[in-house]
Structure 1
Amino acid sequence: MDQDQNDSLQRNLSNRHIQLIAIGGCIGTGLFLGSGSTIQLAGPSIIFIYMLIGIVVFLVMRALGELLLSNLNYKSFVDFVSELLGPFAGFLLGWSYWLCWVVVGIADLVAISGYTHMFYPNLPSWVPALVCIFLFYTLNCLTVKLFGEMEFWFAIIKVIAICVLIIVGGTFVAVSFKASSGEVASLSNIFNGGNLLPNGFRGFLAGFQSATFAFIGVELIGTVAAESKNPFKNLPKAINNIPLRIIMFYVLSVMVIMAVIPWHSIDPNKSPFIVLFLFAGLPAAAAVVYVVVLTSAASSTNSGIFSSSRMLYGLASLDKAPRFFMQLSKSSVPVNGLLFSCVCLLSAVVLLAVGDKSIIDTFTLVASVATIITLFTWFLIVYSYIQYRKKYPERHKASTFKMPGGVFTCWVCIVFIFLIILTLTLQPNTRIGLYLGVIWFAFLGGSYLLIPQSVKKRWKVLLNSTISTNKY
């Protein structure tokens, strides 16, 4: 795009930014905070849950990658969904994904407030949330490259923390470490005497909800694509590394945790990453992990603020949101969308100030809403791929980054996504989140019906001018 700097988003994110943003997206607050409740629900079968979800996530990202690289004028997945599935699908996805990141931001701010209590127990829980919103708004106003730098270092901290946990936990197992409670670290703890489904098949299914939330953010790579240098090189590399990252960050880490701490001894209301070091009698190390968990939540909040502002920019460029959100600063940052998203995040401050639920209950409820929208996003990505194969067979043939298994694996992903949605009915908190998600989609559907036909026709004209390309 040869537009003036202030008229379009700029490709200022380098390869190292894209790779670490992809890694950071694979390591969310759901892993650090939510894995305790998932282990309690599923027991040792959590290993298989993470592997199954990881395979589907990888396939969804491969579909996303081929679609984005088929036309570099796609600024995000909203563009190709709008073109391939129609304006209603694009409208529904754009506003839902914006809400998803606002909701994820609220969940992360709740987590940040909960963990801040360790260091400042008398501090009102809403104060850390307010400080974070102001801080990240200020930093994101400066330049997209600064966002890339922040996420680069946030991701490095998370990677180091998980590597240390795996090394320390592996050492405990190797020396058969015995805790003060009498529990001995051993690989046999993982397999639970051969009973991999201690809470039955229902418990196994219930574990999918919180496990899915842990993967929210991996599709962020599709949002930053419009601001990436050399996407043909960086995007495939980031996506192809996802399986290795899932094995290391999810599978190995929970295996180490359950080898050191028997699954039934893990408190669902606490981060197992912190509990592991407390269990081993290392409170100083646990305090360090507290900081790492705070960093993870801060990173996710930062990503949410970035992603939601870009989604509003994309919607406004297609006239599906007020043109007000298209205004860019001198450094090509969509400042009005940024401000609006941060104002919406202030609801976390209100929730923490007046809410009477525990931190983990509030986190689970909010996470359920985000999970519904994320599953909806994944569904539209793979269904768009099916339509892309019908509409643009020549683009698929010319693609150097093809979706493995093509249309067949897309249908497998769709079936899996709907099965995960069904698991949300198994727990009271997640059922409420499911109902709230349905209300949101009904609200958007009603809003769409009120939009004049003349506006909807203009959407198509704007979309065609935005994504028109002579590439193929």
Structure 2
Amino acid sequence: MSDQADAQQNLHRGLSSRHIQLIALGGAIGTGLFMGAGKTIAVSGTSILITYVVVGFFMYMTMRAMGELLLTRLDYRSFADFVADYLGPKASFYLGWSYWLSWVVTCIADVVVCGGYVQYWLPELSPWIPALSTLALLCLLNLLSVKMFGEAEFWFAIIKVIAIVALIVTGGWMIASGWTSPDGVQASLSNVTNPQVFMPHGIVGFFAGFQIAIFSYTGIELLGTMSAETRSPERVLPKAIKAIPMRIIIFYVLSMVVIIAVTSWQHISPDTSPFVTLFDKAGLPAAAAIINFVALTSAMSSANSGVYSSTRMLYGLSVDDHAHWQFRILSRTTSIPVHSLLFTCFCMLIGTLLLFLVPDVMTLFTVVSTLAAILVIYSWAMILIAYLVYRKRRPDLHQRSTFKMPAGIAMSWLTLLFFLFSLVVMVFDADTLTALCTMPLWFILLEWVWRVKQRKAQVESEAV
């Protein structure tokens, strides 16, 4: 563990409380909120409010487990480290590479969507040009310094927050004034409380909203990859994690209530952003362009987080000898794992070039976002399993903890059951079923690589 500690000390703690709070806030507002809100409301009706609360609750429990474990040892670089301690090196190998892949895939989805957003202003432009340009820009920002990443994410999060607050305020004014749209829909909370639109497509529609909601929350665990580069993590991390429930209520539940109350469920299109629809109804002619810009920055924010997280996870894998030693090399001036960053961006570049094969932006986004959601569920589950082992092996550490997970053991089991249920639900949708069926191939590949790695280590030890 000494090698790991030495390697970690070389990482620069350049993220302040201001950065961490806004990164946590931005992570709680995923791309799925802007992109998938219309589809989610269309399939779930007003029951989507329950979906976001339920999924958000279990996300919060996962973050509490992660927070307690990270703060038991301040030399943990990320949650992969405590998984290695409590579940062994093989589990850490599986988790580290799966989490790395989840962010590579998510980043591909986000930069692909950036290409689609830019086409709003430049319809003749091929989507791969802005997609690759976005990836190059984010790679440069992450190459400069960890503080530069923090600053970029800080301002991306500010833009998202302002947009959602503006939506809630505008919608609230429309509801209070009894606004009536040109198509005859009056803004009213009765549009939300109407029992006919609670589950318009039955229980199947209600369950269909879970996958989209889970993808919306992807990135909320970002705090667990920043521990080694956070100033005063014992103070900053609990504060950021405790704020998650209120942020879920404000940014997900309130925004959904306002959208449905103003637009009414019957007039919400699954193919159009309900944010644009609401501002259009408010008589703001620039609404579409404004929201398109906000959605673009939201996708760039998620992609920026993906570049950062996947790079740090690959660095951690290398320090633990689960990846090539070159990936642990840090730049001399900025202490950035530069080789990990360049390799990760190269993999993202290859994936982005899929736009040549699948030019339809939304088709490609649907496929890769579902793969990312499944991989993230796996990562969250490993955090909870490690927590359960920690509670069994180290009750002394739990007793000394100043940031205990509420009802830790019971809530860990309940959250794991919820994640299992979420995977079972994916069987009933053709798109998510395809992604679910392809995931075993990734774990078969990991098992093969692990065995080759173990045989090579055995041969080297026998040679000595």
State the TM bucket, normalised to the shorter chain.
over 0.9
Q: What's the CA shift for 1:9? A: 0.9
Alignment of 1:122-161 (within 5 A): 122-161=124-163
The CA distance in 2 between the partners of 1:254 and 1:439, in whole Å, is: 37
Amino acid at match of 1:122: E
The CA distance in 1 between the partners of 2:280 and 2:448, in whole Å, is: 51
Q: What's the CA shift for 1:275? A: 2.4
- State which drifts further: 127-136 or 172-181: 172-181
Task: Report if the CA contact (8 A) 1:110-1:348 is conserved.
Answer: no
The CA distance in 1 between the partners of 2:114 and 2:152, in whole Å, is: 17
Matched, 1:304 2:267: no
Amino acid at match of 1:425: V
- Which residue number in structure 1 is paired with residue 417 of structure 2? 415
- State which drifts further: 251-260 or 432-441: 432-441
Amino acid at match of 1:47: L
Alignment of 1:31-430 (within 5 A): 31-329=33-331, 330-356=333-359, 358-430=360-432
Task: Report if the CA contact (8 A) 1:6-1:331 is conserved.
Answer: no
CA deviation string 1:203-239 (max 9, x = no partner): 1011100110000000000001110000110000000
The CA distance in 2 between the partners of 1:78 and 1:6, in whole Å, is: 13
Q: 5+ unaligned residues in a row in structure 2: which ranges?
A: none
Task: Report if the CA contact (8 A) 1:17-1:148 is conserved.
Answer: yes
Task: Report if the CA contact (8 A) 1:103-1:370 is conserved.
Answer: yes
TM-score norm. by structure 2 comes to 0.95
Q: What is the DSSP-based 3-state SS (H/G/I as helix, E as strand, rest coil) of the residue aligned with 1:181?
A: coil
Task: Report if the CA contact (8 A) 1:113-1:125 is conserved.
Answer: yes
Q: What's the CA shift for 1:400? A: 0.3
Amino acid at match of 2:230: S
The CA distance in 2 between the partners of 1:349 and 1:123, in whole Å, is: 16
Amino acid at match of 1:346: L
Q: What's the CA shift for 1:39? A: 1.0
CA deviation string 1:406-443 (max 9, x = no partner): 11110010000100111111211111121222221222
The CA distance in 2 between the partners of 1:286 and 1:267, in whole Å, is: 15
CA deviation string 1:375-402 (max 9, x = no partner): 0011000110000011111111110000
Distance 1:263 1:438, change over 3 A: farther
Aligned mate of 1:446, from 438, 445, 448: 448
- State which drifts further: 311-320 or 285-294: 285-294
Task: Report if the CA contact (8 A) 1:106-1:347 is conserved.
Answer: no
Q: What is the DSSP-based 3-state SS (H/G/I as helix, E as strand, rest coil) of the residue aligned with 1:370?
A: helix
Q: What's the CA shift for 1:454? A: 6.3
Task: Report if the CA contact (8 A) 1:179-1:281 is conserved.
Answer: no
The CA distance in 1 between the partners of 2:458 and 2:436, in whole Å, is: 29
Q: What's the CA shift for 1:360? A: 2.6
- State which drifts further: 116-125 or 340-349: 340-349
What do you get for the CA RMSD once the two structures are aligned?
2.0
Task: Report if the CA contact (8 A) 2:426-2:433 is conserved.
Answer: yes
Q: What is the DSSP-based 3-state SS (H/G/I as helix, E as strand, rest coil) of the residue aligned with 2:55?
A: helix
Q: 5+ unaligned residues in a row in structure 1: which ranges?
A: 459-472
Task: Report if the CA contact (8 A) 1:425-1:431 is conserved.
Answer: yes
The CA distance in 2 between the partners of 1:35 and 1:448, in whole Å, is: 40
- Which residue number in structure 1 is paired with residue 436 of structure 2? 434
Distance 1:351 1:280, change over 3 A: farther
- Which residue number in structure 2 is paired with residue 463 of structure 1? none
Q: What's the CA shift for 1:273? A: 1.4
Q: What's the CA shift for 1:65? A: 0.3
Q: What's the CA shift for 1:4? A: 8.5
Distance 1:349 1:195, change over 3 A: closer
Amino acid at match of 1:75: R
Q: What is the DSSP-based 3-state SS (H/G/I as helix, E as strand, rest coil) of the residue aligned with 2:120?
A: coil
Distance 1:427 1:456, change over 3 A: farther
- State which drifts further: 171-180 or 345-354: 345-354
Amino acid at match of 1:33: M
Task: Report if the CA contact (8 A) 1:125-1:353 is conserved.
Answer: no
Amino acid at match of 2:358: G
Task: Report if the CA contact (8 A) 2:384-2:416 is conserved.
Answer: yes
Distance 1:41 1:361, change over 3 A: farther
Aligned residues: 458
- State which drifts further: 46-55 or 177-186: 177-186
Q: What is the DSSP-based 3-state SS (H/G/I as helix, E as strand, rest coil) of the residue aligned with 1:124?
A: coil
Q: What is the DSSP-based 3-state SS (H/G/I as helix, E as strand, rest coil) of the residue aligned with 2:121?
A: coil
The CA distance in 2 between the partners of 1:35 and 1:98, in whole Å, is: 26
Task: Report if the CA contact (8 A) 2:170-2:282 is conserved.
Answer: no
Task: Report if the CA contact (8 A) 2:8-2:77 is conserved.
Answer: no
CA deviation string 1:146-166 (max 9, x = no partner): 111111111111111100000
- Which residue number in structure 2 is paired with residue 465 of structure 1? none
Q: What's the CA shift for 1:445? A: 1.9
Q: What is the DSSP-based 3-state SS (H/G/I as helix, E as strand, rest coil) of the residue aligned with 2:286?
A: helix
